[in-house]
Amino acid sequence: MLARLLVVALTFFPLAARACDLCGCYTPQLESMPKEKNSMSGFYTAIAEQFTYFGSLQFDDREVANPTGQRLDSSVTQFVIGYEINDRLAVQFNAPFIYRDFRRPEGFAIDEGNVSGIGDVSLLVKAVLWRFASTAWREFNVEGKNPVAIEHEPDCTCSIVALAGLKFPTGDSSRLEEEFHEVEIPGAPENAIHGHDLTLGTGSYDGIFGAQSSLRYKNFFAEANGQFTLRGDGSHDYHFANDLTWNAGPGYYLVRKRETLVGCQCAVSGESKDVDRFQGRAAEDTGVTSVFVGPRIIASHDQISGEFAAEFPVLMNTTAFQAVPDYRLHASIAVSW
């Protein structure tokens, strides 16, 4: 049970959801340390929330004025259910619910509204490629008549996990049709929030490939994860670009007991994405290279784990004119049985 809690608490955060709203899959890492004999498989479920506030405008790498108060509040709630077939292999299903509230100029008027619905669902397979745990040790409590052996966990554990999966075009992609009707009106404020920002789905079957790694020595831990999304042909003649996301960071367990864990981490995450293509031509306002930094708090007790994190941009390079994030918030809770 301790092995389950350690790994879930150590690596239980949104691998790619920290970057792209459309491609991010919340992927708890398959536990990668020795288990008790009666814990070789089982179900887990989770709810993960990412809220991103886009309130700034940027042209390439320069922030520009926002006289019309353009903004985008993006909430992505992912519902996860998975099954660990054994201590090395697991399958997982992700279903996101997306809500976006926006304000943008439309000619000389202001367009305010919201979109919501199910996004693109994903099916993933995760496999432990390598794992290591130093030898556990025992001490004897000699108080009383009968000495009691107390087993302590290994001082050092580490693992590498690979994942692969498929994203299905279940989300509504009708907002992409806006791309056909966009016309710049001379003298009117430029719009930075388009159909490709508001769509609930890409309209494409996409491949997901990634790896997760973790290392713990006593109360110190570190992790490094990455995910690559290979895009298929999208709907409405709109093709989203392939996307690379990553995150890493060191941390420390403030509390590390047999049934309870509390830790903090300095989380760094980023995304690299080329421009999309519409009707065979580059959509210039869609490329991005970003880096976010922020604190993350993790906690677990018995079979329940959770986290809260806040991230702020330290590098934001975009192509052309775009609305960019001011901050991101993450929260999740997970249960295994």
| Cβ proximity of 296 and 264 under 8 Å | yes
Could you list the beta-strand ranges (E) of 142-218: 148-152, 156-167, 206-217
Q: How confident is the model at residue 28 (pLDDT cuts 50, 70, 90)?
A: low
Torsion sign over Cα 30, 31, 33, 38:
negative
CA dihedral sign, ordered 171, 172, 175, 179: positive
Cα separation of 141 and 75, whole Å?
51
Q: Which two tokens stand for residue 265?
A: 């981490």
Residue 153 pLDDT > 90, yes or no? no
- In what helix (H) or strand (E) does residue 112 lie, and over which residues does it extend? strand 109-118
Helix (H, G, I), strand (E, B) or coil at 175: helix
Q: How far apart are CA 328 and CA 175, in angstroms?
A: 24
Q: How far apart are CA 314 and CA 291, in angstroms?
A: 6
Q: Look at residue 160 and tell me whether its pLDDT is greater than 50.
A: yes
Per-residue pLDDT of 94-127, as tens digits, reads: 999 999 999 999 999 999 999 999 999 999 999 9
Q: Could you give the domains of the chain? A: 2-336 (2.40.128.130)
CA-nearest of 121, 123, 275, 278 to 200 is 121
The whole-angstrom separation of Cα 124 and Cα 27 is: 9
Confidence of residue 9 (pLDDT cuts 50, 70, 90): very low
**In 3-state terms, what secondary structure has residue 6?**
helix
pLDDT tens per residue, range 195-213: 999 999 999 999 999 999 9
Span of 60-69, 128-137, 263-272 with lowest mean pLDDT:
128-137
pTM (2 d.p.) = 0.87
Q: Which two tokens stand for residue 117?
A: 């619905």
Closest among 8, 86, 24, 9 to 311, alpha carbons compared = 24
The residues pairing with 125 across neighbouring beta strands, listed in sequence order, are: 91, 164
Q: Distance (Å, rounded) from C-alpha 83 to C-alpha 250?
A: 28
